[in-house]
Amino acid sequence: MNTVAQRTRGTDFATAPAGRGGRLWGQLLRIGFAAGRGTPGDRLRFWALFAAAAAVAVVALGSVAAIATYDGREARDQARGPMLTDRRQDAVALWREAFDAVGEVQHSVIYVSPLKTDAPPPPGLPRWPAPGEAMLSPELVREGGKEQITSRYGRYAGTIGKSGLVSPSERLAYVRPAQTPDELRKSDAWQYAEGFGRAFPMGENLYGRPLGQVLLTLGVLTGLPAVSLLVIAARVGSRTRDRRSGLLQALGGGWRHRAVVNIGESALSIAAGTAVAILPMLAASATDLRIPPTGYLLNSDDLRAAWPMTLTALIVSFVVSLGAVVVLHRVERGGTATRPRSFASKVPRWRLYGCGAGLALVAVSQYFRGTPGLLAFAFGTVAMWALLPSVAAAASRVLGEKFAAQGFRAGRPGQLIGGRWTVAHPGVVVRLAVAMVIGLGLVCQLQVWNSRLGEKAAAARASEARVGDSLISVYNRDITPPAVRDLAGSLPTGAHLFSLNTNPEQPAPLLQGSCDALRALGLTCPAAPEAAKGGDRRLEEIRRWYGPELRIQATPSDPSLDKLYGQLLVIPEATGQRAPVERVAYAVVPAVNVETLGENWLTGASNKARLNNWILLFGSLGLALLLLAGTISAAAEFMRVRHVLAPLAVLTGSHSIYRSVALWNLTTPLLIATFITGAVSAWHSLFFIAVVQEGSFSWRVLAGAMTGCAALAVAVGLLGGRAAIRAARTWRPTAD
């Protein structure tokens, strides 16, 4: 006997017309609540709704966190921005911004020199740094340990407080040069600041993206999968709900009554899922939480300040999830199912042609130049990836027929049934394959895009591999002859100083240095410029970057420096000397640039890669949700058909039949989808690389991703089999 029917006894709609009195609604809610706990197969529905509600709430809270964080960032950015002025008499400090890098990550170095010592220091600083002192952000100290960052800009005088950083993970330095303000003012790079408190993009804010873009990325990459999970979860367990709805309808209940019962049935799981989603928010509000893989530290103060928005988002998320369950529960005229649909018989043929057309479009895109070629490639890619799951399903279908035939011939019931189910329900495979296909495709594309450094960055990477930090460039237009002298005098022992003039009006770049320095590169000591002849690897590197026609000249004293086209080159005696070179360079010339050759190209590429990490984060979250949705959908489908097999399995004691059927019905088609997608991903990525002639394809990444998908395929099969066995064990003949 239907347990719901038993529970609905006493709910007489004829005597209690719709809408009259609160008792009826309370009773309907109780019916729903009891149905949610008591009907078979509800565990899957409970957890599906729980996961979906949690996912929707996480996206909602993620948006809140983004908005709150951006609000906080803006406020702090505004508070620390210099209020620049041309009037010397109004100024409280000299201010200038410069850039440096730790590893390949760029950061701002703010030079300040107070003109009025009683003026308040920039936010986050407990006091003005003393001459020659530097205050660094905690993240810069943490990341720059290996590069001895605390001694790079002068004496380390402590960290910058949270109020002075747009995020706790910002890399920033405040430096007060040892020179007096009068000395500093000789350079026109310094500006007067009459205080702090005007928006002035600096530090991390230079590399961020607008809030709208973040919300859009979160919405598309994570929000949409969360909604699809919600839709699938809302339809899980429709068999029992159909019967209940039919009963309510027969008793004279309307859609409102059904809605109340559905609310009662799903409210607990949705409330639990929504409540669980607050845990990460609570954690992030209690302490600054680092978000992998971006490395970004959320400011807990910002999140705490946004608690009313958090609460509202939770309520909205709960209502949306609950509303979706009610709205998505249709009672069809025929009284049949609202269960997840599967294709009745065949995968529509146009999808296969569409995928083929997309593939062809990608292939011919190389013959079109400019925008048409790009459009062809983009359209082809979208069509191909969107329809690829259907190809995988069609292939699975064909193979399903073969499996079934083989199972029939060999008398293997699991293979026979699994094969036939694959033929009959390719939609199950399509739903799961969608997530896998998007996942594999995205992983490969991200890897390829990240590997596209650009020509210069690739050259810089190669240069780094060849000479490392045995060739260091020092440049700044404020480097004066006395500064060159000071620098030459304080370089680490054995280091040689050169000047390189790359003025294009010269016949060729000119490298100047003392005879000792030139000899250290295996060169002669010409008094007049002459072509450099020698094969020293550092010399080769200079030629690679500045031209093969490099000339050399010995200078009797310190090398002179062209203000516009000149730079100093330091060649230490051994590698690993970069930190001391930087230290002396910063001591001599504030805001100087100290780099290995082409390093700024690498920092640019690294900025791009770090932004991609956000796409990776939102994308992988979304993929996980899509995979979960696919798995739940497959499990629901599997649970639906288990009813038919249960009597035989129970009576013959052959529970392993479920495992075998799940293997052939779920695991095998998914493995096929994995291999097809892997092959297409590899082709697509290699094709892309060939067309743009840039980047590299990592077979290891593809192998890793495919292994992940294969493991998932096996896990889904095992879980499906296990769930069906557990459910079948409780089956009893209950025909009366």
Partner 1 sequence: MSAGESAGLQVEGLHYRLGERVLLDGVDLSVEPGESVAVTGPSGSGKSTLLMCVLGLVRPDRGAVRIGGQELTGLPSGRLAQVRRERLGTIFQFGELLPELTPVENVALPMLLGGGDHRAAYRRATELLSDLGVPHEGTPTGMLSGGERQRAAVARALITDPAVLLADEPTGALDPEAREAVADLLFAVSLEQGCALLLVTHDLSVAARAQRVLRLEAGVLTDALDGVGA
Residue 331 beta carbon to partner 1: minimum distance, rounded to whole angstroms: 22
The full 3-state SS of 463-530, as one line of letters, equals HHHHHCCCCEEEECCCCCHHHHHHHHHHCCCCCEEEEEECCCCCCCCEEEECHHHHHHCCCCCCCCCE
Nearer to partner 1, 17 or 647 (CB): 647
Residue 722 beta carbon to partner 1: minimum distance, rounded to whole angstroms: 18
- DSSP string for 378-401: HHHHHHHHHHHHHHHHHHHHHHHH
User: Which of 187, 110, 123 is CA-nearest to residue 153?
Assistant: 110
Nearer to partner 1, 377 or 403 (CB): 403
Nearer to partner 1, 413 or 708 (CB): 413
Residue 650 beta carbon to partner 1: minimum distance, rounded to whole angstroms: 7
d(CA 156, CA 137): 11
Residue 505: CB atoms within 10 Å: 5
User: Which of 331, 339, 333, 326 is CA-nearest to residue 245?
Assistant: 331
Using CB under 8 A as the binding rule, the residues of this chain from 608 to 647 that contact partner 1 are: 643-647
Residue 357 beta carbon to partner 1: minimum distance, rounded to whole angstroms: 32
Piece of the chain touching partner 1 by CB under 8 A; list 103-111, 348-356, 543-551, 728-736: 728-736
Give the largest Cα separation in the chain, rounded.
114
Question: What is the H or E stretch that residue 159 is in?
Answer: strand 155-159
What backbone phi and psi angles, to 5 degrees, belong to 217? Answer: -60, -45
Residue 168 beta carbon to partner 1: minimum distance, rounded to whole angstroms: 58
Nearer to partner 1, 184 or 417 (CB): 417
Using CB under 8 A as the binding rule, the residues of this chain from 642 to 681 that contact partner 1 are: 643-654, 657
Using CB under 8 A as the binding rule, the residues of this chain from 424 to 463 that contact partner 1 are: 424
Nearer to partner 1, 142 or 412 (CB): 412
Residue 399 beta carbon to partner 1: minimum distance, rounded to whole angstroms: 15
d(CA 421, CA 724): 15
Piece of the chain touching partner 1 by CB under 8 A; list 29-37, 125-133, 581-589, 727-735: 727-735
Judged by CB under 8 A, the number of residues near partner 1 is 30
d(CA 523, CA 674): 59
Nearer to partner 1, 10 or 653 (CB): 653
Residue 251 beta carbon to partner 1: minimum distance, rounded to whole angstroms: 20
Whether the Cβ atoms of residue 672 and residue 392 lie closer than 8 Å to each other:
yes
Which x/- pattern over 675-714 shows residues binding partner 1 (rule: CB under 8 A)? ----------------------------------------
Judge residue 137's burial from the number of C-beta atoms within 10 Å of its C-beta, 0-12 exposed, 13-18 middle, 19 or more buried. Answer: buried
What is the DSSP code (8-state) at residue 147? G
Nearer to partner 1, 92 or 661 (CB): 661
Q: How many CA atoms lie within 13 A of 141 on its CB side?
A: 14
User: Which of 142, 143, 161 is CA-nearest to residue 105?
Assistant: 143
Piece of the chain touching partner 1 by CB under 8 A; list 36-44, 86-94, 407-415, 513-521: 407-415
Nearer to partner 1, 652 or 707 (CB): 652
Residue 415 beta carbon to partner 1: minimum distance, rounded to whole angstroms: 10
Nearer to partner 1, 524 or 656 (CB): 656
d(CA 191, CA 97): 10
Residue 736 interacting with partner 1 (CB under 8 A): yes
Beta bridge partners of 85: 192
Nearer to partner 1, 258 or 420 (CB): 420
Using CB under 8 A as the binding rule, the residues of this chain from 492 to 551 that contact partner 1 are: none
Q: CA geometry: angle at 164 spanning 592 and 181, to 5°?
A: 45
Residue 330 beta carbon to partner 1: minimum distance, rounded to whole angstroms: 24
Nearer to partner 1, 543 or 655 (CB): 655
- DSSP string for 638-671: HHHHHHHHHHHHHHHT-THHHHHHHIIIIIHHHH
Using CB under 8 A as the binding rule, the residues of this chain from 1 to 30 that contact partner 1 are: 1
Whether the Cβ atoms of residue 217 and residue 614 lie closer than 8 Å to each other:
yes
Nearer to partner 1, 188 or 736 (CB): 736
d(CA 388, CA 288): 42
Using CB under 8 A as the binding rule, the residues of this chain from 408 to 427 that contact partner 1 are: 408, 410-413, 416-417, 420-421, 423-424
Residues within the interface to partner 1 (CB under 8 A): 1, 408, 410-413, 416-417, 420-421, 423-424, 643-654, 657, 732-736
